[in-house]
Structure 1
Amino acid sequence: MLDANSILLSSLNIGNRTAQNRFVAQPMEGNDGENGAVSERAIKRYTQLAEGKWGVIVIEALAVKSDALARKNQMVINREHLPGFKRLVSEMKKADPNALILFQITHSGRKSGKDFSQPTALYDPAPHEHLLTTEEIDEIQRLFVEATLLAEEAGADGVDFKMCHGYFGCELLRPANQRDDKWGGSFQNRTRFLSESVKELKTRLKNKDFILGSRISYWEGIKGGCGTKSADDAVEDLTEMDEVIRLMVNLGLDYVNVSAGIPGVTSEITRPTATSKWFYLHQFRYARRAKALVGDAMKVFGSAYSVLKEEAIALAEENLQKGDTDFVGWGRQTLADPLFPKRLALGEQVDYCKLCSGCSKLMVKQEQVKCIIYPVIKE
């Protein structure tokens, strides 16, 4: 049981809003949309998650286009599907009016499934990938802005620009992105998408308390990836990603959600396994570095706590007490036990993630995602 005075249970502001505690439910894809729309299953599992009394719940990667899907049944955020998203937020708010609900918006880029979608590339396309034109990237930017405005209309408390894990937003930032148009080459061009989008949203959002933030991969572990020095280097050099975070502060973003790696490529950097447990120390180091950069100007969400199971609680409290992060995020643990924060607070038994990768295997097979040990969703 958590002590009633645990820092994990303390409230903290994000922008002009207040999170009821420091627990973040990280975005975990369910692959259970219905032709892109919100399904009854998705509503059930997110309502159950809201019942867990999380401070922040990040709704899984919502595609801005129906041909940019990493999952066959990924949800797509557009005006046609807006009623479903309104109902999703409404049901979650009924379960917990105090939870802050963020929509993560994305374009899957190279990670789009070639059997049901259109893989695209910003540079060096593979034979099955379409090289995006300048105008097509312009359109994707327009759709990101529109998706954010739709999230506001749906009743969400904010959005997360997905610029991590090898997807379109992450590919834009890479030193390897040496396009010869306005979307590549220089640092200014590679961050233009984020800069221009946020500036436009600041003028168009009606709710001035709407939360804006982004999840990034501080280091991807590939040649020319985020967190490297140049297009032909894979060794970790975080100098440029530090500048990305400083840019986020200057743009007035409310938080940065710190992650790393690319699932399916450098997976264990992103989500350490039982045999790679100590990769969590890299994730803690990245969060500490980000927090040292931003100070009080922006909040930091830390990642990779699921691998620590019961140990995570003491380490999360320690990181918060030291000021190494502001919030602590769990991904796989949300599938094993959606009620995790509530159960900890009440001293109830918690079902801890077994690190079996069963949920990931379901995702890879394009099946509906769930915990195979603790099937908590009533189908």
Structure 2
Amino acid sequence: MIKQLFEKGNIGHKITRNRFVAQPMEGNCADKGGSVSQLTINKYKNLAEGNWGIIIVEALSVTPTSLARKNALVLNEKNLDGFKKLVNEIKLINPEALILFQITHSGSISNPNFSEQVAISPLSEGRLLSTDEIEKIKEGFVKCARLAEEAGADGIDYKSCHGYLGAEILRPMNIRNDKWGGSWENRTRFLREGIEEISANRKRNDFLIGCRISMYEGMRGCEGTSAPEELIEDLSEQIALLQLLNKLKMDYVNISAGIPAKTPTLTRPVQSAALMYLHHLRYTQFAKQTLSNTNMKVIGSAYSILREDAFKVAEEMLSKHYTDFVGWGRQTLADPLMPKKLEYGESINFCTACSGCSKMMIKQINVGCIMFDEHYKRYWKENL
């Protein structure tokens, strides 16, 4: 019996219609300069039709010069009207949906074929950013949060996961010798000062602030380890990170793991490694336990691999208070109407974990479901 998923939830000063979260999935389909395209509008209108409680708009770059995707969305003044239209189109269909903008910088995973690859740490790939350049990037995050609020979004996700700059700067392998690296205090400065400035500058007290983190990235010296040369999982710093998020009075944390470009099955379990989803459940429960007796909410991930079994697992996680919200990523591409269909007993197109969307991302073409979306079925065949 599916009950918990359809109960209203609360996050910050906002109420959600249910506990379903549409996770940020990069569509690589922006128009020139990273502006909102009709494909972008169509994608999110479909999600709005699906009655998701929270819709997170994908990885909006704070800069047009360092991008992981050739057609990534860029949030700036020039593109602001398009984002206003996007929010309006979603709200017209699903006025109860909470819309979060995920703001990001691609850092060392920026693609050098069409943008500049830059790095936080001398141990990472790309040109090493200067102290002042990182300061300007932080200012870019603050500015984009203000633009997100101006566009009508209900909040932002300060992206700190999946190998992007926000995650790279937190890693033990960030051995910079300036104010942005080395010590824990320095490695958290980018997040800490950025969030403090966003909180101070927001015009609405109910404008939500949170971030997505990778609890363990599965690589030496990365998030979830204890030192630059360590590989074994150690969540001591992640406990400190969660406590910092709470101290900053953030409204939520979205729990993930891995780096899609380096440890993909940890981030997105596939059929041959389906049990990797258990790590996500463990990390989510761990975060919820760490944040017990706080007002911060926790969003869990990696449910797409479970197909129809995801609902009973989600119900268990919610009923045991191991999470507050449940997020689907690839499933939002396979069937953006899933929550609505589930509620009304209609047949759902479940993600087959074929990795078609990932292959499209690697090829730097528009991303969609090649199994169930007729447009992307044709598009994929044309681009083979």
Same fold (TM over 0.5): yes
Residues 1:218 and 2:215 are matched in the alignment: yes
Contact 2:256 2:267 in 1 (8 A): yes
Corresponding letter in the other structure for 1:12: G
Q: 1:336 aligns with which of 330, 334, 337?
A: 334
* Deviation of the 1:334 alpha carbon: 0.1
Contact 1:25 1:331 in 2 (8 A): yes
Within 2, Cα distance between the matches of 1:57 and 1:152?
A: 15
* Deviation of the 1:58 alpha carbon: 0.5
* Deviation of the 1:202 alpha carbon: 1.6
Residue in 1 that maps onto 2:23:
26
Identity rate, percent: 51
Within 1, Cα distance between the matches of 2:260 and 2:200?
A: 35
Residue in 2 that maps onto 1:160:
157
Contact 1:110 1:168 in 2 (8 A): yes
1:76-132 CA-to-partner distances (Å, cap 9, x unmatched) read 000000000000000000010000000000000011111111111111266x71110
1:127-180 CA-to-partner distances (Å, cap 9, x unmatched) read x71110000000000000000000000000000011000010000100110100
Contact 1:122 1:132 in 2 (8 A): yes
Residue in 1 that maps onto 2:37:
39
| Count of aligned residue pairs for this structure pair | 375
Within 1, Cα distance between the matches of 2:208 and 2:241?
A: 18
Residue in 2 that maps onto 1:273:
270
Residue in 2 that maps onto 1:149:
146
Within 1, Cα distance between the matches of 2:140 and 2:374?
A: 34
Q: 2:308 aligns with which of 299, 307, 310?
A: 310
Structure 2, unpaired ranges of 5+ = 380-384
Tell me, what secondary structure is at the counterpart of 1:309?
helix
Residue in 2 that maps onto 1:359:
357
Q: 1:257 aligns with which of 245, 251, 254?
A: 254
Residue in 2 that maps onto 1:231:
228
Residue in 2 that maps onto 1:321:
319
Residue in 2 that maps onto 1:137:
134
Q: 1:372 aligns with which of 351, 370, 373?
A: 370
* Deviation of the 1:264 alpha carbon: 1.9
Within 1, Cα distance between the matches of 2:23 and 2:171?
A: 23
TM-score, with normalisation over the residues of structure 1? Answer: 0.97
Q: 1:79 aligns with which of 67, 77, 80?
A: 77
Contact 2:121 2:169 in 1 (8 A): no
TM-score, with normalisation over the residues of structure 2? Answer: 0.96
Contact 1:254 1:299 in 2 (8 A): yes
Within 2, Cα distance between the matches of 1:243 and 1:376?
A: 46
Tell me, what secondary structure is at the counterpart of 2:340?
helix
Pick closer, same or farther for the CA change 1:52–1:377 going to 2, 3 Å.
farther
* Deviation of the 1:377 alpha carbon: 5.6
Contact 1:106 1:161 in 2 (8 A): yes
CA RMSD of aligned residues (A): 1.2
Residue in 2 that maps onto 1:122:
120
1:248-300 CA-to-partner distances (Å, cap 9, x unmatched) read 00000000000000002111110100010111111000000000011242100
Residue in 2 that maps onto 1:186:
183
Within 2, Cα distance between the matches of 1:174 and 1:125?
A: 11
Tell me, what secondary structure is at the counterpart of 2:222?
coil
Pick closer, same or farther for the CA change 1:376–1:16 going to 2, 3 Å.
farther
Within 1, Cα distance between the matches of 2:106 and 2:194?
A: 18
Tell me, what secondary structure is at the counterpart of 1:163?
coil
Residues 1:197 and 2:198 are matched in the alignment: no
Tell me, what secondary structure is at the counterpart of 1:216?
strand
Tell me, what secondary structure is at the counterpart of 1:240?
helix
Structure 1, unpaired ranges of 5+ = none
Which 4+ runs in 1 deviate beyond 3 A?
A: 376-379
Within 2, Cα distance between the matches of 1:376 and 1:170?
A: 35
Contact 1:218 1:260 in 2 (8 A): yes
Contact 1:220 1:266 in 2 (8 A): yes
